[in-house]
Amino acid sequence: MPKVLITGAAGFIGSHLCDKFIDEGYDVVAMDNLLTGSLSNISHLFHLRQFEFYHHDVTKFVHVPGKLDCILHFASPASPIDYLKMPIQTLKVGSLGTHNLLGLAKEKNAKLLIASTSEVYGDPLVHPQPEEYWGNVNPIGPRGVYDEAKRFMEAITMAYNTYHGVETRIVRIFNTFGPRMRVDDGRVLPSFISQALKGEGLTVFGDGEQTRSFCYVDDLVDGIVRVLNSDYNLPINLGNPDEITILEFAKEVLALVGNPNAKIVYKDLPIDDPKRRKPDISRAKSILDWIPMTSRAVGLENTLPYFKDKILT
């Protein structure tokens, strides 16, 4: 059976990748330091012979015995509330962690896919954002620890690809949602659904006219697998180009939860918060034959029961 190492495996996206690769017939080695991940996301896999878990920090030396066919590097704090609290850890997992895993990939002759992000585009001056856009990032602003960690990830990954011949893949992930998101992770969807279920006012930063594009996690996982199995080594955007303002999204969530008259609470926009975010997925369409198949409405309906279970029980 092919063998895959998934870092950040107890996190939101990482845990769904564990499920996917188990279903695809892989032996899965899951690795996480549980800084932001939770064992509850992968506990249903512990009884399986083809699944093993390593409680380990990838910024330290990484060893996996035996053969290894591929590595998916998804370890990192991913929400502003986390990487603002843990700036050094965020920079280290993007730099030292990626370096360690590239070394492991080189040793094992394994393929490495890294999880980059739409945040490499910063507060974009080009809309929608194509992979050719170099971005508008403030390297010393509060978000710089995450943005620059991911930009460095891409740079060192390409260096290992060109200099050492390591087979690498880069996905730039736009806003993704679904079950297993942390209720308190501070991102807009968990915040809105949690506040709506608790009967609280929904917190909107700025005037709410900034935009985001939300991709359901099953579509993202499908795209990641297609990238891994492709022969394309430059960055590929994965996200849903269905753009919506934050204020419109707040109203959608309130209608979904059945609390359409709840209050909207406006607060100051955080420093360097992107005003617009929408992926250009032309490259994914042409190279991977991939487009997101799940509408935001269906994705929200699939996600709501998870949050109800976490918040109301």
What is 3-177+216-238's CATH number? Answer: 3.40.50.720
d(CA 154, CA 237): 13
Residue where the block lists tokens 């590239």: 102
Q: What are phi and psi of 287, to 5 degrees?
A: -90, -40
**pLDDT tens across the length of the chain (313 residues):** 999 999 999 999 999 999 999 999 999 999 999 999 999 999 999 999 999 999 999 999 999 999 999 999 999 999 989 999 999 999 999 999 999 999 999 999 999 999 999 999 999 999 999 999 999 999 999 999 999 999 999 999 999 999 999 999 999 999 999 999 999 888 999 999 999 999 889 999 999 999 999 999 999 999 999 999 999 999 999 999 999 999 999 999 999 998 777 789 999 988 878 888 999 999 999 999 999 999 999 999 999 999 999 999 8
Domain ranges of the chain: 3-177+216-238
Report in angstroms the alpha-carbon separations of 31 from 5, 10, 80, 94, 245.
Answer: 7, 8, 22, 15, 36
d(CA 7, CA 75): 5
Active site residues: 146
- Euclidean distance between the first and final Cα of the chain, in Å? 40
d(CA 246, CA 272): 16
Residue where the block lists tokens 């060109």: 162
DSSP category for residue 93: I
- Angle of helix 12-23 relative to helix 217-229, nearest 10 degrees, comes to 60
Q: Which of 124, 121, 174, 120 lies closest to 150 in space, CA to CA?
A: 120
DSSP category for residue 171: E
SS3 state at 105: helix
d(CA 260, CA 254): 5
Give the CA dihedral 89, 93, 95, 100, nearest 10 degrees.
140
DSSP category for residue 57: -
